[in-house]
Amino acid sequence: MPAGGVILVNTVVRSCPIVVEGVTLYADLVVINLREFDVILGMDWLARNHALVDCQTKEVAVEVNGQMKTVIVGERKVIPNCLISAVTAFNLIKEGCEAYLASVHDTTKVSPGVLEVPVVREFPDVFPEELPGLPPHREVDFEIETIPGAAPISIAPYRMAPSELKEFKEAVRRVAR
């Protein structure tokens, strides 16, 4: 066990077929009551199937009929390498590079309906399909009294490190030109 404890086991299922990506592999399974996992295939299974684990591509290849076949492919996060920061883009434009601004919207993406939101389904009495009407009239109307001609309260922006402030002022000066 990961915590260093000991578990007594009295059931082993020998040569249990496991089908992965259409490939049937066999494993000796030790029956343990685990809530998080259905099956844990360990080093003995990897060695018996001559498995090659490629951590870079997140793939596991096993030997099937004398040939290696990839049977397990993990989730891959695709990180686009074409993204640059706003500061880098600003500097490239300053150096004379052409720039284009595009606003892209996915028109094929369907937004979920109101009934597909879990909270709405959980509390149907709070989110009825038909509204019962306007809210009742209150004795006191809500209002915020203002003084005519009063200026907004001036609050200093959040503090910046001296190097950040210098860079910010320089960027404002360049844009103001």
Helix (H) or strand (E) run with residue 52 in it: strand 52-54
Radius of gyration, alpha carbons of the chain = 31
* Residue 64: closest CA among 28, 10, 117, 23: 23
Q: Which domain holds residue 50?
A: 12-73
Residue 118 lies in a domain: no
Residue 41 lies in a domain: yes
SS3 call for 73 = strand
The answer to pTM > 0.85 is no
The torsion angle over the Cα atoms of residues 2, 7, 9 and 12, rounded to 10 degrees, is 0
Residue 49 lies in a domain: yes
Residue 105 lies in a domain: no
Q: Are strands 52-54 and 59-64 parallel, antiparallel or unpaired?
A: antiparallel
Tens-of-pLDDT digits for all 177 residues of the chain?
A: 556 677 788 888 899 998 888 888 888 888 887 777 788 888 888 888 888 888 888 888 888 888 888 777 887 666 666 778 888 888 989 998 888 888 888 888 777 777 777 788 888 888 787 888 888 888 888 888 888 888 888 777 777 888 988 998 999 888 887
Q: What's the domain count of the chain?
A: 1
